[in-house]
Structure 1
Amino acid sequence: MPTRAFTRKPIGYLLTVAALVCASQSAFVPAQSAAAATSQFKGVNWADTRDNYNTGWVIPDGLAASDSYSQVYSVADKYIKAFQSNLGANTVRLPINPPSVSQSWWSAYRGAIDAALADGMKVVISAWTEKTSVGTVTDMTAWKAMWSTVVGAYGGNGDVYFEPLNEPYGYSLSQWVSVCSTWLSQFSSVPRGRVVISGTGYNDNITGVGASSALNGTLLSLHYYGYWNSYTKESSWVSDLKGRIGGYTGRTIIDEFGAPMTTGTNYLANHDNGQFQSYLAAVTDTARSDGMGSVYWPALRTGDSYSLQAHSGSGLSNTNTSGVTQVRWGWGY
């Protein structure tokens, strides 16, 4: 998301966590077999509390720079199982950047990926730039080396997906297609169906990359947020959203979307009389009806009012029952 989560969202949201657990929530339901589109992705982002934009290591909430591989694995296993049982997720999107992969953190951080895979999750590995003010790859050599390491480790695993760069807003369409083509050429052993190409801008439009023959066969990543407009009617959001997707629903994963979850908002009401209620309804209804996968931002990020999960004792709990229900609706539940 452009300047992630709480940094560009209105700051007046209350941050008290309503630790609600939906008694009627069913336990994790195994993913349905792949549909004609991307509906097999029922996902969440697990994010760094500071932000995934970092000049140093990206360290998702609950992990620590001093953790060993086994410690990371243990924490990740606990959280992934919570994402499955509390939400019904079968996909997790994890951030990387060059320092996180080229330095010692990588040997420990791999525990998070490995735990998710062992728990039966799909994993989307996405590269972030090191600053929010830079929407391009600043060190191409380091970026390529990072991906060589990651693809070398997980290229052979069919449950791992690779997103070359999150929110490439510093590039024109032609420049971005060129960068992606270079990636696809360098890592041609990775099936294109496991490469997720970000839309232009802040991943906010995929019509350009979708039309590019150089990117044929890849999946496409769209980001969409409710503070980008002030509509209060679901139909207005749907029209805007569909315009950003065009005819590429069959390849599109909405791999960032989210709304305030710690403010007590009822997301099962006011779909035609509330900004964020109508927005979330539009995203989830469109994803469900058009068979698109979606990956909520974020499942867990302490201090982010959009977080679906909060620390509760030694585990995690839902922050907004109605929000979870609406997100699950988008996943086809």
Structure 2
Amino acid sequence: MLAAVPVIAVTGASTAAAATDFTEFRGVHWSRLGDNATFDPLVLQGMSATDTYSSARSKADAMFEAFQVGLDANTVRLPVNPATVNTSWWNTYKAVVDAALARGFKVVLSYWTEDSGSKPPNMDSWNAMWDTLTNMYASNPLVYFSPQNEPWDGLQSWLDRAAKWISDRPEVPRNRIFLDGYRTVAEDYGSDLRPLCNDHRLDGTMLAFHLYGFQVAYATEQEWKNKIKTYIGDCASRTVIEEFGAPADTGADYSDPNSPDKNVPYLRAMVSVARELGLGSIWCHVIGGRIISPDHDELNILRLNSATSILPLWVPNMSAIDQVRFAWGMGPSIPTAPTGPLTRIEAENAALLGGARVEPHSNASNGQNVGWMLNTGDGTTFSNLYASNRLDIGYAATSAGTFSLYVNGDKTQEISFPATGGWNGFAEKTVDVTIPAGATVTLKRDAGDSAINLDYIEQPREAEYGVLLNGARAEVRSGNVNGMNVGYLLNTGAGVAFRDMPASSKLDIHYAAMSAGTFSLYVNGDKTQEISFPATGGWNDFAEKTVDVTIPAGATVTLKRDAGDSAINLDYIA
């Protein structure tokens, strides 16, 4: 059970709605491996102490591209200290800030005390550092300033130090200053925002909330929600979750609300409150942090390819990333299944337009379809789709005709479809269309269109949500739509299994390969064929291979490297 949050002499027991929305800060920490509390210049994981501005800029640009492509992040929190800013190392470290700003990232510059103490050990060097940074970036609307990470030297001391930092730097807009909450119980660093919210010297600043689950015993999701909201009080309109995170290397399934792992209810509560109150949030740490294992922090949701190379970053736990994406506004509800995004959506579960009606049909995929689309404006709307570049549409039609496709309210195309032989004879039509994450897709009868019965729509099954076999890893790739694929298919037995497949007589495989070769296809454990594939030009260059194969409803389809097969990267199947 959670320890009770202590009552201190401040007001604010309820939680007011946020003035900003949760997509404003979709953030990650990039940190030094070994934690950011150090007297040494900060060398972020993936960088080297021998880097020049040019080499650091190249590495940072690759890292930020991966954060954008793989996570859709728009904010990075970077550590600073006097040994980094007040020395020649700043000429190199500045390349990281420059790379982030060039990609449109918001950058939160945050100071960790060098000795892990409660306040800066040398106030003169601390002030000199902040004078340099504010002189350089006060006029840049993308740069934010966090004077001290997790202070704990006494509440009044922190309030006074924060107020003086502000008064000494009037050129810095208050809404670009992040002030950490106070530690009111031993395990909760940076958590209590209420004293700051009620100190009028700090009015207009952003309040930075920190909370973790690994420091306390098991608590329910609701108990965590209550604790979070108590600490935020009436301050939600100024709050950003500046630090949250949970272990990504333990195999925890964060989609399982009944998991006995104490970190699961914590994380699910954090992302739920972020969505409910409209809070931006910053995961700590995406790369770098405390040394739990030789090469990573257990909180890392992305990992370096090797000790000497940044890319491609790989993903140790997709269910953790799904929770982060939910906090950032992606998906209609908190993920509760480890299978990834829903790929097939039955038309009867969509929003019906005009005179469209749900009706039974024995040959429809779920025994029902949507019909009676007899007039202009009749149709169906499907919400919160994930990013993809194609859409499969199950339908029936007595005669050939057209139907109109809209994405986020904009008409993208008029789809031509052949007759299927009758209202109970169903077929599938594949269309190429760019669907961004979170999009709404509408299939509607416009003037000149014809009547069809809609059975379902289906998006591709992303490989990163399959069961990864024998060393296969999800990794960030810029050449595909969803930002990830499965690679590291280096050994015999490495592959991906896709469960609960719909019935089909063919399979489309989206892949990348440096050279031509073969890969093996299994259905329900039986090898059906060895697939030959051509080279695509590189690991970031994807192509599609279609194979004829009988897949019964509910089957498990496995793509696997057998003896004699070659390496490929798998993006999706459809």
TM-score, normalised by the number of residues in structure 1? 0.86
Quote the residue 2:140 is aligned against.
Answer: 157
Is contact 2:66-2:313 (8 Å) kept? yes
Hey, what does 2:564 align to over in structure 1? none
Alignment counterpart, residue 230 of structure 1, candidates 196, 211, 217 = 217
Q: How does 1:224-263 map to 2 (within 5 A)?
A: 224-263=211-250
* Letter paired with 2:38: N
SS in 1 for 2:314: strand
In the alignment, the residues of structure 1 paired with residue 259 and residue 111 of structure 2 have an alpha-carbon distance, to the nearest angstrom, of 36
Partner in structure 2 of residue 307 of structure 1: 300
Is the 8 Å Cα contact of residues 305 and 313 (structure 2) preserved in structure 1? yes
- Structure 1 or 2, whichever has the larger Rg, is 2
- Cα-to-partner distance string for 1:104-148 (whole Å, 9 max, x where unaligned): 11111000001001011100000110012x110211111110001
Equivalent position to 2:155, from 152, 173, 186? 173
Q: C-alpha separation between the residues in 1 aligned to 2:144 and 2:130?
A: 12
Match of 1:192 in 2: 174
- Aligned AA (1:280): L
Q: For residue 308 of structure 1, what is the amino acid of its counterpart?
A: I
Quick one: distance in 1 between partners of 2:89 and 2:316?
Answer: 30
Q: State how far apart, in whole Å, the 2-side matches of 1:48 and 1:120 are.
A: 22
Name the structure 2 match of 1:137: 120
After superposition, give the CA deviation of every residue in 1:129-178 in whole Å (9 maximum; x if it has no partner): 0012x1102111111100011111111110000000001112x2221111
Which residue does the alignment assign to 2:38? 54
Q: What CA distance in whole angstroms lies between the structure 2 residues aligned with 1:126 and 1:319? A: 27
Letter in 2 for 1:304: D
Kindly tell me: are residues 87 and 285 of structure 1, through their superposed partners in 2, closer, same or farther at Cα, counting changes over 3 Å? Answer: same
Mark the runs of 5 or more structure 1 residues left unpaired by the alignment. 1-34
Deviation of 1:272 (Å):
6.5
Runs of 4+ in structure 1 displaced over 3 angstroms? 271-274
Equivalent residues of 1:203, 1:222 under 8 A apart: yes
Check whether the contact 1:233–1:274 (CA below 8 A) recurs between aligned residues: no
Aligned to 1:118, which of 77, 93, 102? 102
1:84 aligns with 2:68: yes
Equivalent residue, structure 1, for 2:323: 326
Residue deviations 1:202-246 (CA, integer Å, cap 9, x gap): 212111111110000000011100023223411011011111111
**Contact preservation (8 Å) 1:308, 1:324:** yes
Structure 2 vs 1, CA of residues 271 and 244 (structure 1 numbering), >3 Å: closer, same or farther?
farther
- Bigger CA drift: 309-318 or 321-330? 309-318
**Per-residue deviation at 1:317?**
1.8
AA at the equivalent of 1:277: V
**Cα distance 1:159–1:106, how it changes in 2: closer, same or farther (>3 A)?**
same
**Cα distance, 1:274 vs. partner?**
3.5
Q: Is the Cα contact below 8 Å between 1:38 and 1:253 reproduced in 2?
A: no
SS across alignment from 1:203: coil
Answer yes or no: is the 8 Å Cα contact 2:287–2:296 preserved in 1.
Answer: no
Q: Residue in 1 aligned with 2:54?
A: 70
**1:259, 1:72 → 2: CA distance?**
29
Letter in 1 for 2:225: V
User: Aligned pair in 2 of structure 1 residues 140, 323: CA closer, same or farther (>3 Å)?
Assistant: same
- Residues in 2 aligned to 1:310 and 1:182: alpha-carbon distance in whole angstroms: 39
Q: CA deviation at 1:295?
A: 0.4
1:37 is displaced (CA, Å) by 2.5
Q: Which amino acid aligns with 2:159?
A: V
Residue identity opposite 1:177 in structure 2 = L
1:298 maps to 285
Determine which structure has greater relative contact order: mean sequence separation of CA pairs < 8 Å that are 6+ residues apart, divided by chain length: 1
Query: For the residues of structure 2 that align with 1:128 and 1:71, how far apart are their CA atoms?
Result: 25
Please give the secondary structure, in 2, of the residue aligned with 1:235. Answer: helix
Contact 2:209/2:242 (CA < 8 Å) preserved in 1?
yes
**Superposition CA RMSD, Å:** 1.3
User: Which structure: greater helix fraction?
Assistant: 1
Note the C-alpha offset of 1:273. 4.4
Match of 2:112 among 114, 123, 128: 128
- The Cα of 1:70 is off from its aligned counterpart by 1.1
Q: How many residues align?
A: 297
Amino acid at match of 2:322: T
Distance in 2, Cα, partners of 1:58 & 1:91: 19
With over 3 angstroms needed to count, the CA separation of the structure-2 counterparts of 1:150 and 1:328, relative to structure 1, is same
Equivalents in 1 of 2:136, 2:91: separation in Å? 11
Preserved CA contact (<8 Å) 1:233 1:272: no
Residue pairs, 1:259-278, within 5 angstroms? 259-271=246-258, 273-278=260-265
Partners of 2:201 and 2:166 in 1: CA distance: 9
Residue 44 of structure 1, CA deviation: 0.4
Please name the residue that 2:456 is paired with. none
Report percent identity of matched pairs: 38
TM-score normalised to structure 2 length = 0.51
Question: Structure 1 residues 161 and 38, CA, compared in 2 at 3 Å: closer, same or farther?
Answer: farther
Q: Distance in 2 between matches of 1:253 and 1:328?
A: 16
Preserved contact between residue 296 and residue 303 of structure 2 (Cα < 8 Å): no
Distance 1:249 1:328 in 2: 20
Query: In 1, distance between residues paired with 2:269 and 2:258?
Result: 8
| Long gaps (5+) in structure 2 | 1-17, 184-188, 289-294, 331-574
